[in-house]
Structure 1
């Protein structure tokens, strides 16, 4: 009986002692990436400058659109971005079909009420991402990039016309037609490149530096992609 009492007391003491992870276990759990906030002029200097190469690129190497943040809602990434960016939310029917709603395409300042007239633009186009580092990624990381909803700058709903004018061009070759959009655009382009560790070629880096001088109050927010 005494032995049983002692065992019970020992078990009670152990239950009351808080459990802590061992140093080895704590070290094995990676810390969440820290958010960065930088002035644009500083941020653009943190993008590595390197030659770009498109060898081997095809668009299907970036799987999109996938099932999005919530596979159970029946909406793919495109639809989820449209829902997130709507100024007036659309009606959602079976199969995640969107009708009505209103959006503002910041590239050209146009209001849009038909979701079919909007494209979801990859802030840094897929081909440009490939050229500047994504060619070395795994297929899973390229899919994560192509469907990135964890950073507001990565995917943006804009008029199909402006998205197709932009195509795969960087800021050295194309800028949004609305001058009011330029500082935001350069800030979001820079944030996306830094988030994903992508490089810039020399012409692109030079263009970013010039725009940064004109956008003195622009601040870049980004969190490195896991």
Structure 2
């Protein structure tokens, strides 16, 4: 089974690319979805976050207030590191189990959607290839402001908290430019997937026969 990493900057369109992968029958393990699961009320990470950051970052029903916590960590590098230190071990453990279950089901490819792949570096050793989704910087800012409803200043702060798109692109095996239409992005993904399946089939055919 080949494990492909999918990453990029915030609001560059990773979710769009991930959905296209799913439409082609490729399982996608989304780190953001897993992250929400590991901080559900009563989970170990939930208790650790409450102890570290206090009840101020929680809603009345006990759920994590992601907006308030985001404001805290994006303004403080050390607090962001503390949060990552709490959640990442639980996130990566769950993603590993999900990948193992897909392996047992016989899937030839899986995609791991990892927003902070290069920032943390934790999963790089497990990935065969890395895809980076990028877009024009002005468009990224506009998308983030429209999606989250935050001010321009807050949006810039959140973008600056991640590695630059240029640097991520330089470290990628493949880059999907997502500044134009959805149709163009779908075409790019389809070509990329077709090439991946061709290479896989070619490598299988080239294996020596077992007598």
Per the shorter chain, which TM-score range? Answer: under 0.3
Higher helix content, 1 or 2: 2
**Larger Rg computed on CA atoms:** 1
TM-score for both structures, normalised by structure 2 = 0.27
